[in-house]
Amino acid sequence: MTSTRTNDPGVVQRLAGRLASLPSRVAARREHDAAMQDPRIASEHWLQIARSTSHGGGGCEFCR
């Protein structure tokens, strides 16, 4: 039987950091979704994502 425990103390620190940032990420997601309701903003948003990804950048973290 394999244990799922780890000896890496950074795991707990990373998890704590993610949990601490959760309220701001939820608020950012709500703001993003509200902005996407406006067709003009949504089309510009998709254009920016296309430009970013065509140059090797990342896309929108909420639209993935």
User: Is the pLDDT higher at 2 or at 62?
Assistant: 62
pLDDT over threshold 70, residue 1:
no
**Rounded to two decimals, what is the model's pTM?**
0.64
**CB-based contacts of 53: which residues, under 8 Å, 6+ apart?**
59
**Distances from the Cα of 18 to the Cα of 4, 8, 29, 35, 62, angstroms:** 20, 17, 15, 24, 16
Q: Each residue of 7-56: pLDDT tens digit?
A: 777 888 888 888 888 889 899 999 999 999 999 999 999 999 999 999 99
Give the domain ranges of the chain.
22-53
Return the residue matching tokens 């909420």: 62
Give the per-residue pLDDT at 13.
86
